[in-house]
Each structure stands twice: as structure tokens, then as C-alpha cells.
Chains A and B, each alone.
Chain A
Amino acid sequence: MGVSVLQPGLATTVQDVGRPGYYNVGIPPSGSLDQYSSLAANLLVGNAEDAAVLECTYMGPELRFGSPATVAVTGADLPPLLGGEPRPAWESFAVGAGEVLSFDYLRSGARAYVAVSGGFDVPAVLGSRSTYALGSLGGLEGRALVAGDELPIGDAGGAAPGRSVPEALRSTHPRHREIRVMMGLYDHRLTDGGRRTFAEATWRLTTLADRTGMRYRGATLEFRERVAPFGAGSDPSNIVDAPYPIGSIQVPGGVEPIVLHRDAVSGGGYVMVATVISADMDDVAQSAPNNTTRFVEVDLRPGRRARRRRAARLEALREALA
């Protein structure tokens, strides 16, 4: 028995830990953009860490359960409702056969994760159930959910309801964030003033913010004069095509920096002035349009320290929900 999609929400997709290893042939890692919240949802319902969840962007779906299940909602503050009655987030709860899970409007953050005991059992493609919609790959038929879809539920694992993530381990979603970046690989193309502007500006997330990338607005970056090398476009923000790391920040035309996320294109011809450290990519995913961000330059050492701290937080989550 599965879950029937009565309303799909805005951009709801099946995601998991991702599909690493194929970016060299243009297939991005995909997977939940906020991996921390996605893991928390799976642990709450007793699933394996690589079970598939639903990622709900800005708006929740309406789902009818064909059989009883344990369910958890984490990530953005998108209050869950069961049969119209509030249910807690960051806590697992029981859903009976025939009951309908829906959501109130978004209070903060951008992406909520819904885990169901057993996991969403769509076929794995290249080792992952994650949806890569631009490539029509994985998930349910390679696309976002639509009304009338039937989602199969697996029978592996599952825990009784009542698990709860301790308060200190729940993500919060402020309207303003500081996101740590390492400068490069093309920051030498900025003037000193351009570098200063990048670091000091308050960047506001636009409505062009999806799984491929998040586009911000707030200032114009000045580039150094140069003669375009062979193969590069004539705009000062053009480079000879290069691979795009996940988290890299490209700035077409010197306006509107774009942070690439887990459905990114693998390469192109725009300068990447900096790259978000891996530990802060979950936070990037939880910025909503109209929220603000400042990019804070860090070096390799604090970047690695942040990564260790994130790993310790994931470990604390596993221990709390074991």
C-alpha cells in the first residue's frame, strides 16, 4: 500500500542522500538539498539513512495514506496537519490508513522533508532514488509530483512513533544568514573594490531559487580590465569554460550571484568568485526568497573545522535517535 498524492505542492520531489560519482558526465549529485534535515526525518521514523524522503519546496503537498505508517516532518517550518489537526515537526507521529497529511503555510526556511517508515520505494537509478528533474532521472518518473501520483512505500525498517529530535539539534531558519565561502578559483578577476563589495553587500535571495541554483541580488561587482582569452566570451564575467563545483558562486555580468546546488550544471563559462563551504550548503538550501545573506570569507583551516563540527552534529543526531 502506498501514498496517494491529492495535491502536489509547488515542487515536491523524491530525494535521498544523492547520486555521487557521475558529475564528470554531467549528472549532478542531486539528493536532499538540506541533508541534515533529511537525515533527521529518516532517523525519526527508523529508516536506513539512504531511504528516500519527500522534499517539499515553499509549500507542502496533500497526501493520503493507504496503510498505517510512522511519519516525520523536518527542515523548514512548514507545520504538518493530520486530518486538519496540527502535528509536531521534528517528532515522529502515527498516521492511520486513509488519513490525509497536509501542511499550513511556510513560517520560515524553504524546504521541508517528509519521511515515512519504510521509505518512498521508487526504483533506484544509478544507485539513488533522488529526482533529477532536468535530466528526467530517478524519483517518480524523473519529475516533481503531480496530483494523482501513487507513491510506493517500502517494507524495510520503521520505528514506532514518538521519537523526537532534542531542541538543540533542531535547525532554525533566521531571515538573515552568514554563509561561509572560500574565495576562488576566479576571484583574481575581481578588482579590490569588487572583492570588497562581494564581502560587504547584503544579498537578497530572488524568486529564482531552485535545486539548480539560488540567485541573489544586492550589488554589482567590478571586474578587472582584460583582453578576453581565446574561447571566453566578451563579457568581463566570462571565462574559458570550466567545471562548476557544487556550491560555487558564479556572477554573470557582475550582478546577481548564483550559488549552485545539488542539481547544478557541471560546467560553463562564468567566473566563480567563491565556493560555499560544504558545511553551510544545508543553510543555503533553507534560505527563502526575500531572505538575506552575507558571504563571509574563510580559509581552508576554518572550513575544515566547520566540516568536522558538522560531522559531529550528524553523529549527535544519530545517537539521539538510535
Chain B
Amino acid sequence: MSGAGGPGAERAPTVAIRSPLPGVFYRRPSPDFDPFVEVGSPVEPDTTGALFELMKQFFEVPAGTTGTIAAVAVADAEMVDAGQVLFTVRGS
């Protein structure tokens, strides 16, 4: 693994992290907490990127890859469709 933001990081390809389900997308574990990730946050496959809610159940969305968050595509508490892009992660 090369360091996040190291030389060449800008040119590394990005991977889209998609929602596996339709639901409400939450960027933080509860309203008083910081977001799970911000643009530039380093992530690993099992890093939680977001929570979402469906049928009164909450699910964690893992980043699924190693790299840094390049963009957050959805606003906090917004409804998303299955397959919609939530984040892009720049590979390392």
C-alpha cells in the first residue's frame, strides 16, 4: 500500500461504492457524532463509510476497498436507490 495522498495518488483510479439496497443514507452514527468519513479519509475494505436505514433496520456500508475517499455523492439523510453511487474511493 502506498501512502494516501502520496506521489501518484491523484492519478490513481477511483472506485465507486454503491448502495446495495434502497434506503435512507446517513453519514454519521447519530446526529451528535462526526461523519464516518470525509473527503480524504483513508479507508480499508471493512471501514464503515455510512449507515443506512430500511424497514426500521440500520445497516453499515463498508468501503469495500483500500484507498482514500475522493467524493461523497449523497447528502446526509437523503434517500438512495439500490445501486446508486454513495462514495468514490481513490485506490492506493
Binding site for B on A (CB under 8 A): 10-11, 57-59, 105-107, 110, 204, 206-210, 288-290
Contact = CB atoms under 8 A, between A and B. Distances in A.
Contacts of A11: 55
B53 to A, nearest CB: 6
**Main SS of chain A's interface residues?**
loop
B82 A106 contact: yes
A207 B20 contact: no
A288 B82 contact: yes
Nearest to B84: A290
Give the bracket for the number of chain B residues in contact with chain A: 10 to 19
Contact of A106 (B24, B53, B56, B83): B83
A256 to B, nearest CB: 14
A290 B79 contact: yes
Given A207-B24, A290-B22, A105 B82 contact: yes
Contact of A207 (B18, B79, B82, B83): B79
A207 B53 CA distance: 7
Contacts, number: 49
Interface of B: 18, 20-24, 53-57, 79-83
A58 B54 contact: yes
B80 A207 contact: no
21 contacts: A10-B21, A10-B57, A58-B21, A58-B22, A58-B54, A58-B82, A59-B20, A59-B21, A105-B20, A105-B21, A106-B82, A110-B22, A204-B79, A207-B53, A207-B54, A208-B55, A288-B22, A288-B81, A289-B22, A290-B22, A290-B79
Contacts of A209: 55
B55 A106 contact: no
